[in-house]
Amino acid sequence: MKKKHHITRRKAIIEGVGALGALLLTGCIKKAPPTYGNILRMGDALTYAAHRALLPGQSLVKEYQHSDISAFPATGTTNPGDPINRGDHKIPYSEEYARLHKASFKDWRLSIEGSVARPGAYSLADLQKFQSRTQITRHSCEEGWTAIAEWTGVSLGRILNDAGILKSARYINFYAYDGYMESIDMLDAFHPQTILAYGMNGQDLPIAHGAPLRLRVETQIGYKSVKYLQRIVVTDEFVDNGDNGWAWYTGI
Amino acid sequence: MTDLPQAIAQSHSKRANIRHRPWVRVCHWIVTLSFFALTFSGAEILMVHPRLYWGDAGNDLTPALFELPISRNYQHGGWQKPEPFFKTASAPVSASRTYDIFNKNGWGRSLHFLSAWLLVITGLVYLIAGIVTGHFKQRLWPHTSEFSASVIRKDFIRHLGKMPVSADGERYGPLQKYTYMTVIFLLFPLTVMTGLAMSPAITAAYPFLLKMFAGAQSARTIHFFAAVVLLLFLVVHVVMVIRSGFRQQIQAITWGK
């Protein structure tokens, strides 16, 4: 049995290439969000620095009454497992998501990796065992519209602590089944209203809104609230996937 | 052609003991630049969602105050059948979008905020300098006599007739003072405040902004109207500059001559 753990040259090469590939996949790693010499990204960086320097840390966003709940458009990806979308590279299709959806997400697991003492995989039932938080908040889309909904879930900070987040951690990266990726800093990650939501308006989170689990970052614009969560990677440095043309920090 | 306009200009510049101060000239052109960038990017942002609302929530599935036919997103109707969230009558609904909307907000929003930084920083410098140097008190605050209705009426009629060519040596007229004061102390601060009232992080720290403008969408609507009034001001401003000697006025605000 011990032979299994021997590091042969062939294995070392294969694993080395694999690790390099993984590194290329996740992109370059940097200390802070880069500006790419782009004046627009410099403006975004100024906004980020100013918000962090001037705003009192972790103020709570306004919470609304149940009667304030409004209609809520589902935009962006509205079902990564919809076979109609297969072949259209603008709308990503995930066979794995379709399979998990078919089994009512019983086999779905949220993987937590990176700078944590206890990396692991959480099922929906695991997440629902933690103390829940319900909040009625306003979603601000970058397009200009807003919508109010009630979200139920578990505080992201609670889960990160459960996984034993390391002191060196600086960024939390979210990967979704539709191929989408976003990251936030520690201030937003441990904001009391930043939750991993499995419920919306008193029901299970609908497919169109990111079932079975989505992120809610209430202090930023809607596109930071990643739908269809697959895995969370905690990193000590900024994971740079290149300039996608959109501001990384969108508290404004 | 005679040298008459030049002669008038010369006679004006001779008694021109009040010139545009250097910091006024610098601020004027930086604000002009940022205002154009804000208008351009603001129009792009509005095109992505050309609907305006009142209150805190507003989207394609809720009624709008009004809609502007300014992009292909106008009444696009690309939605799946709405499904209610609750089993009650007139419950709020959810619907999935099926339409590939026009959206250039990636650069639109970032350009808007970058130029807003330019406007806010320059605006703050201008306000502080205006108070410290007595600029507002000396040049913009109306004289006691200029509060009277007859003086304002007279000034209005004067604007309808032929205007003399004048450089910056002239004192501002009462209507000019009122207009500049409205732009500086009401319209620009209003656009900035309503802009901030749309920010989730800033309204979390300063919730009075949401109360002040009756919600994030109301703030967006007021932001739009304040911008429209500023654009109207720009048109009138430029017309007046042309009518009172374009070359002289541009030189005065640029080089201080």
Domain boundaries, chain A: 2-240
Query: A66 — contact with chain B (CB < 8 Å)?
Result: no
Q: Which chain B residues are closer than 8 Å to A251 by Cβ?
A: 199-202
Domain A2-240 class, CATH top level: alpha beta
**Cα–Cα distance between B203 and B216 in angstroms, integer?**
9
**Cα–Cα distance between A231 and A149 in angstroms, integer?**
24
Domain boundaries, chain B: 4-57+103-254
ipTM: 0.90
**Cα–Cα distance between B206 and A89 in angstroms, integer?**
42
**For residue A24, what are its two tokens?**
């290329």
Q: Report which of B67, B196, B181, B56 is spatially closest to residue B120, judged by C-alpha positions.
A: B196
Query: B106 — contact with chain A (CB < 8 Å)?
Result: yes
Query: Which is it for the CA torsion B119, B122, B125, B127, positive or negative?
Result: negative
Reply yes or no on whether the pLDDT at A145 is more than 50: yes
The kind and range of the H/E element at A155 are strand A146-155
Q: Which chain A residues are closer than 8 Å to B79 by Cβ?
A: 73
Q: Do A160 and A215 meet the contact criterion of CB atoms below 8 Å apart?
A: no
Q: Which residues in chain A (132-191) have CB-CB distances under 8 A to chain B?
A: 138, 140-148
Q: Could you tell me the end-to-end alpha-carbon distance of chain B, in angstroms, rounded to an integer?
A: 24
Q: How many CB pairs under 8 A join A and B?
A: 150
**For residue A88, what are its two tokens?**
């259209």
Neighbouring C-beta atoms of residue B150, cutoff 10 Å: 7
**Cα–Cα distance between A1 and A24 in angstroms, integer?**
33
**In angstroms, what CA-CA distances link A76 with A210, B48, B50?**
10, 14, 18
Q: What is the pLDDT of residues B142-190, one digit of tens each?
A: 988 888 999 999 999 999 988 877 654 568 999 999 999 999 999 999 9
The kind and range of the H/E element at B181 are helix B174-182
CB A247 to CB B110 under 8 A?
A: yes
Amino acid code (one letter) for B87: K
The CATH architecture one would assign to domain B4-57+103-254 is Up-down Bundle (1.20)
CB B111 to CB A40 under 8 A?
A: yes
- pLDDT of A93 reads 86
Query: Running along chain B, 257 residues long, what does each successive block of 10 average in pLDDT?
Result: 44 56 97 98 98 98 97 94 95 94 97 98 98 95 90 92 69 93 98 98 98 98 98 97 93 91
CB A47 to CB B113 under 8 A?
A: yes
